[in-house]
Amino acid sequence: MEARLISAKDLMKKYNVTYQTLNHYTNFGLLDVVTKSGNARMFDEAYAAERLRQIAKMKELGYPLRLIRKTLLENKEPRLL
């Protein structure tokens, strides 16, 4: 099954994320760019939506971005207290 790509601009609109936040998540290693089309960064929509959901959930629980990145890179869910 082929991934459905979404541009950064459309991702921001659809998932209510600012450019600065999306850029920070990308630069910080929380969100992977699949490809570039000209100047537009393209993301796998299903992956990006799930990642944004996970990040928002962990931020709500008070996790700092460094711990969120570590948790996501280790590919495990955070232990809830």
- Domains of the chain with bracketed CATH: 5-73 (1.10.1660.10)
* pLDDT above 50 for 80: no
Question: Which position has the token pair 């928002």?
Answer: 56
| Pairwise CA distance, residues 25 & 21, whole Å | 6
CA distance readout (Å), 16 to 5, 35, 56, 80: 17, 21, 12, 26
Tokens encoding 13: 């609109």
Span 45-74, average pLDDT: 94
Question: Per residue in 26-56, pLDDT tens?
Answer: 999 999 999 998 888 999 999 999 999 999 9
- Which residue(s) pair with 42 in the sheet? 7, 35
- Which residue(s) pair with 36 in the sheet? 41
Residue 16 has a pLDDT of 94
The share of the chain scoring above pLDDT 70, in percent, equals: 90
